[in-house]
Amino acid sequence: MRCLSIARAFSEQGDDVLFVTADHRGDELIRSANFKSTCLDGEWTLMESEIPRIEALIDEYEPYLVLVDSYFVTEKYLHNINKMVPVAYIDDINESCWDVKYLINYNIFGKTIGYSRYDDCDTELILGPKYAPLRDEFVNMPHHIVRQCVSDILVSAGGADPERITERVIHDVCPKFPDSRFHFTVGVLNPRIEAIKRLERGNVILHINEQHMARLMRSCDISISAAGSTLYELCAAGVPTITYILADNQRMAAEQFEVQGIMLNAGDCRNDVHFLSRLNVMLARLINDIELRMLQTKRMQSLVDGFGARRIVEAMRE
């Protein structure tokens, strides 16, 4: 999704965009966004095997930039491509000094993670949440109105929800707050969709494969969300949020949002037996503290305005 947002920003500047994918799972999504794509029919965890095909595509299309988005890149992979054409790489974890022209880390910890190893390189750093590449529906959203009474709560657990957060919150949190409606976003990658559908009742409302996320967010008073890219959408929408850790690469974001006083952090949902009890306490606190919710909204919307993809493109096109 972040690549589609950046692709749209390039397209707005008159550039042609070609998506190069390892397999066909993204074909329909790319096609529906009116972009061209070509598939390598390769193994996406073994990226060095792609190098000859990528080099052939560069010779064929002669692009002025290649944007790479994968956790499975290697130094050889990026070095070989960057020799032929400038490479921009979206980085979340800073595990190596990559040989690239542009390095993008739009996370809240982007400026604090420590990129000093690039001081003597020609790599241009594009860092911080103002570059968060969100979908157009999150661009320049109006100020979120914080209501005295909390009636609607959004719960987001990612596409596949491997830790069964949806079911756990339905069973252990929703009954404790009967006066609020809980809106659960359920992704199409969730293998338990049919079982989850049977849990919809009372104050439990399901939104399966929701297509208007910005509108849904703005209709809610509070959100509970894993510390992935959804947090930056919630910032743009200004919805007071309790975040939690669903994967190792989410820890730094959850901790930084907490340290900067922007969101509450309920911790790691995978191995903490007190996770749900902590979530209940934090939710009760946020419901009862309108001043805290107003402060969160102000800080969130000052952090992200939805123009991140355009800023990324402007920084590289300069």
Over range 35-42, report the average pLDDT: 95
Over range 61-82, report the average pLDDT: 96
**pLDDT for the residue numbered 188:** 79
CA separation for the pair 160, 192 (Å, rounded): 9
Grade residue 187 by pLDDT with cuts at 50, 70 and 90. Answer: confident
Q: How many CA atoms lie within 13 A of 310 on its CB side?
A: 11
**pLDDT for the residue numbered 93:** 87
Grade residue 66 by pLDDT with cuts at 50, 70 and 90. Answer: very high
Sequence-separated (6 or more) residues with CB below 8 Å from residue 116: none
Q: Where in the chain is the domain with CATH 3.40.50.2000?
A: 138-303
What CATH number was assigned to the domain covering residues 2-127?
3.40.50.11190
Q: Which of 104, 128, 144 is nearest to 3 (CA)?
A: 104
Q: Which of 136, 195, 203 is nearest to 167 (CA)?
A: 195
CA separation for the pair 74, 47 (Å, rounded): 8
In three-state form (DSSP H/G/I as H, E/B as E, the rest C), the secondary structure along 93-144 is CCCCCCCCCEEEECCCCCCCCCCHHHCCCCCEEEECHHHCCCCHHHCCCCCC
Cα angle value 266/268/274 (rounded, 5°)? 65
**pLDDT for the residue numbered 309:** 97
Q: Where in the chain is the domain with CATH 3.40.50.11190?
A: 2-127
CA separation for the pair 99, 118 (Å, rounded): 10
* Positive or negative torsion for Cα 5, 6, 12, 18: negative
Amino acid found at 253: A
pLDDT tens, position by position, 208-266: 989 899 999 999 999 999 999 999 999 999 999 999 999 998 999 999 999 999 999 99
Computed over every residue of the chain, the mean pLDDT equals: 95
**pLDDT for the residue numbered 271:** 86
- Domain 138-303 bears CATH identifier 3.40.50.2000: yes
Burial class (CB in 10 A: 0-12, 13-18, 19+), 215: exposed
pLDDT at 318 over 80: no
**pLDDT for the residue numbered 234:** 98
pLDDT tens, position by position, 150-183: 999 999 988 789 999 999 999 999 999 999 999 9
Q: Are 58 and 52 in contact (CB under 8 A)?
A: no
**pLDDT for the residue numbered 1:** 87
CA separation for the pair 122, 108 (Å, rounded): 24
